[in-house]
């Protein structure tokens, strides 16, 4: 049973009477509010320990849909593992990796998609629409298919073919928009206004951050309610980091934690409006007109929630970090070759950010640091290795032995 009450503006305190995308009074983004006192009796360490549900819906009391409206593919409760080899190379004894690319469609966006599409059912919508560079489109398409409603997606024309193919397989109607992610946003919003479709964009749908906040719930529960020192997250729209921040506040409101981990907002050098402001000590977001980075999921040049992200980072004593494409590719290659984890560049940015925290002396060697890995490497054609160097051999022993010797395995 959910403890959801209503949508409220965190800026002016106005409570929406029903569903709105933004505060009708001041225009700011809205947030879902819960009766935490009522939830305390149903959501504590003992009750969570006895729950059989191994998905994010084990926290249904702090998610907005009624039980009969939940649309789920089993998302959430992804593994949290200790990094052995990379942690050792960085001099970190407690580097943890949250494998959120293990969600049903291969990205953390499934959490927000599950909540938003559940609310589409609850609110009676029959069509969903969004703009996306890929992962969000795949997620919303999948959950729309699960519910049985139409899905329309607007993507920038540079979006990965793999992600578009995934969305198309789920039955979504896709439209490529010439230009930037901002241009795709304009097109999707026009369709929302013109046709009355339910907008599932992660920047403005108030239910978008409700799914990602369960990342915080899971990390805390998986660490036996000992809050880590740092949570490192790659940021595009900021919905994931804002969700984690909201989740921490709700856990504190339930009395399950006393202190917050510091939040690190990591962005690529070619598109860092939020991290750049944080590093410069400013609250002002300077839009990036033409973002350029290999981390396509983070190419949000004008994040609508940028100032909210800055506030969340500062409130927790966190920092902004900027990683170059080369540093991101290095991190992705290390995750694959040293830990057996194949992630897309947008996800690898979190490890690149953690390396920066070490190099700048921001973290201590025994700090518990959680890097959230947000998307699968199978979604993009990522140059972590040179495929042209793979030899083609005839199935004969002489060629095999010669090839093995050429790659330098001296023991043969």
pLDDT tens-digit profile of 59-85?
A: 999 999 999 999 999 999 999 999 999
Instruction: State the average pLDDT over residues 390-398.
Output: 88
Cross-strand pairs, 373: 99
Residue 339: inside a domain, yes or no?
yes
pLDDT tens-digit profile of 20-53?
A: 999 999 999 999 999 999 999 889 999 998 888 8
Residue 332: inside a domain, yes or no?
yes
pLDDT tens-digit profile of 205-260?
A: 999 999 999 999 999 999 999 999 999 999 999 999 999 999 999 999 999 999 99
The yes-or-no verdict on residue 319 having pLDDT over 80 is: yes
pLDDT of residue 410: 52
Residue written as token pair 């927000």: 112
Instruction: State the average pLDDT over residues 103-130.
Output: 98
pLDDT of residue 412: 47
Residue-number span of the structural domain to which 271 is assigned:
80-106+208-379
Other beta carbons within 10 angstroms of residue 381's beta carbon come to: 11
Residue 10: inside a domain, yes or no?
no
The yes-or-no verdict on residue 411 having pLDDT over 80 is: no
Residue 323: inside a domain, yes or no?
yes
Please give the Cα distance from 372 to 350 (Å, whole number): 7
pLDDT tens-digit profile of 150-193?
A: 999 998 888 778 778 999 999 999 999 998 888 999 999 999 99
Please give the Cα distance from 270 to 325 (Å, whole number): 8
Q: Which of 226-230, 340-344, 361-365, 394-398 has the lowest mean pLDDT?
A: 394-398
Residue 361: inside a domain, yes or no?
yes
> Of the ranges 88-97, 282-291, 380-389, which is most confident?
88-97
pLDDT of residue 65: 98
| CA count, 13 A, side-chain hemisphere, 391 | 12
pLDDT band at 366 (very low <50, low <70, confident <90, very high): very high
Residue 39: inside a domain, yes or no?
no
Residue 390: inside a domain, yes or no?
no
| CA count, 13 A, side-chain hemisphere, 12 | 11
Total-model pTM: 0.95
Q: Which two tokens stand for residue 248?
A: 């921490």
pLDDT of residue 142: 98
pLDDT band at 389 (very low <50, low <70, confident <90, very high): confident
Q: Which two tokens stand for residue 4?
A: 């959801």
Q: What letters, b where the CB count within 10 A reaches 16 and e where it falls short, cover 47-71? A: ebeeeeeebbbbbbbbbbbeeebbb
CATH of the domain at 270: 3.40.50.1100
Residue written as token pair 């940015």: 349
Sign of the CA dihedral with 160 first, then 163, 164, and 165 last:
positive
pLDDT band at 387 (very low <50, low <70, confident <90, very high): confident
Other beta carbons within 10 angstroms of residue 364's beta carbon come to: 13
Number of domains comprising the chain: 1
Residue 73: inside a domain, yes or no?
no
């Amino acid at each position: 049973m959910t403890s959801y009450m209503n949508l409220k503006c965190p800026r002016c305190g106005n409570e929406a009477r029903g569903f709105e995308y933004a505060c009708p009074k001041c225009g700011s983004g809205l947030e879902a509010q819960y009766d935490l006192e009522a939830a305390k009796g149903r959501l504590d360490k003992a009750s969570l320990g006895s729950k059989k549900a191994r998905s994010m819906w084990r926290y249904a009391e702090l998610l907005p849909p009624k039980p009969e409206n939940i649309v789920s593919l089993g998302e959430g409760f992804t593994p949290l593992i200790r990094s052995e080899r990379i942690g050792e190379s960085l001099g970190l004894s407690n580097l943890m990796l949250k494998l959120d690319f293990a969600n049903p469609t291969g990205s953390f966006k499934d959490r927000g998609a599950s909540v938003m599409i559940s609310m589409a059912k609850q609110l009676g919508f029959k069509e969903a629409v969004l703009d996306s560079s890929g992962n969000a489109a795949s997620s919303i398409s999948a959950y729309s298919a699960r519910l049985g409603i139409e899905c329309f997606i607007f993507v920038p024309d540079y979006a990965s073919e793999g992600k578009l193919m995934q969305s198309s397989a789920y039955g979504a109607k896709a439209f490529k928009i010439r230009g930037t992610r901002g241009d795709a946003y304009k097109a999707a919003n026009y369709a929302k206004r013109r046709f009355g479709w339910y907008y599932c964009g992660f920047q403005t749908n108030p239910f978008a951050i409700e799914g990602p906040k369960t990342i915080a719930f899971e990390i805390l529960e998986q660490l036996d309610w000992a809050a880590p020192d740092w949570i490192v997250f790659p940021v595009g729209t900021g919905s994931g980091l804002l969700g984690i921040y909201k989740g921490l506040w709700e856990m504190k409101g339930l009395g399950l934690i006393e202190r917050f981990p510091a939040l690190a907002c990591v962005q690529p050098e070619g598109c860092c409006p939020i991290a750049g402001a944080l590093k410069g000590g400013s609250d002002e977001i300077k839009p990036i007109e033409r973002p350029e980075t290999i981390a396509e999921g983070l190419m949000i040049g004008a994040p609508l929630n940028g100032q909210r992200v800055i506030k969340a980072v500062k409130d927790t004593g966190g920092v902004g970090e900027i990683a170059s494409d080369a540093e991101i590719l290095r991190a992705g290659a290390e995750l694959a070759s040293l830990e057996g984890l194949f992630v897309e560049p947008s996800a690898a940015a979190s490890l690149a950010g953690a390396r920066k925290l070490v190099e700048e002396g921001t973290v201590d060697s025994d700090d518990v640091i959680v890097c959230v890995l947000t998307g699968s490497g199978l979604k993009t054609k990522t140059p972590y290795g040179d495929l042209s160097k793979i030899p083609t051999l005839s199935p004969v022993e002489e060629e095999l032995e010669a090839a093995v010797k050429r790659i330098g395995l001296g023991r043969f």
